[in-house]
Chain A
Amino acid sequence: NIVLTQSPATLSVTPGESVSLSCRASQSISTSIHWYQQKSNESPRLLIKYASQSISGIPSRFSGSGSGTDFTLSINRVESEDFSIYYCQQSYSSLLTFGSGTKLEIK
């Protein structure tokens, strides 16, 4: 199975700061990585597909980059509604896997 390692586990930031969340794959997966946001007691929501492709309805402050094994989700000027958990997921293998998540919390 392809293992996805997300770092850091928790990120404490002040609203208005810009942040980068990391997702590293155990083998090269091209750009087959997708990002989700999960707010407390809610279902996950797709933010970015195929590493950098935007999703309709998602604010433009969310962007993704990377290829191969290293991927980044960037949030430009974090807003209060962004404090939640973020997961990456790979679809390079038919055995789909998720990272363990990064919790974005208010400093």
Chain B
Amino acid sequence: EVQLVESGGGLVQPGRSLKLSCAASGFTFSNYYMAWVRQAPKKGLEWVATISTSGSRTYYPDSVKGRFTISRDNAKSSLYLQMNSLKSEDTATYYCASQPGPRAFFDYWGQGVMVTVSS
């Protein structure tokens, strides 16, 4: 059974940093692109970042480019999201998700982790 378990969320002040983690199991992690998708309270879904199988290629929307960094450790079947210079508009539930490729759908999702940016 595929499992994606996020951790590392919490309350953080504007301008500070936070790092999210996602532990994967039940599939060959190194064969999949991986992504982060977020959802602000009572709002829709927003793609945040994607990383290639080896970690050599990354993709971001303009809203987080330069502030967020996605990375992975295939030996540990783990995905990460380093979030710097956080803003109040980054407040959201962050989901870890698997992708078969960079321009594709999200087939498996974690349960999500809440990040609140507030003073």
Verify B45–A87 contact, CB threshold 8 A.
yes
Verify A43–B111 contact, CB threshold 8 A.
yes
Q: Which of B44, B50, B95, B109 contacts A96 (CB 8 A)?
A: B50
Measured between beta carbons, the chain B residues less than 8 angstroms from A95 are 47, 59, 61
| Majority-rule SS of A interface residues | loop
B89 at interface, CB cutoff 8 A: no
Count of B interface residues, CB-CB < 8 Å: 19
Q: Which of A29-78 contact B (CB under 8 A)?
A: 32, 34, 36, 38, 43-46, 49-50, 55
Contact with A along B35-78 (1 / 0, CB 8 A): 00100000011110010000000010100000000000000000
Cα A49 to Cα B107 in complex, Å, equals 9
Verify B106–A94 contact, CB threshold 8 A.
no
Measured between beta carbons, the chain B residues less than 8 angstroms from A100 are 44
Cα A98 to Cα B109 in complex, Å, equals 15
Verify B109–A45 contact, CB threshold 8 A.
yes
Verify B103–A46 contact, CB threshold 8 A.
no
Q: Which of A32, A46, A97, A99 contacts B106 (CB 8 A)?
A: A46
Verify B111–A96 contact, CB threshold 8 A.
no
Q: Chain B residues in contact with chain A, CB under 8 A?
A: 37, 44-47, 50, 59, 61, 95, 102-107, 109-112
Q: Chain A residues in contact with chain B, CB under 8 A?
A: 1, 32, 34, 36, 38, 43-46, 49-50, 55, 87, 89, 91-101
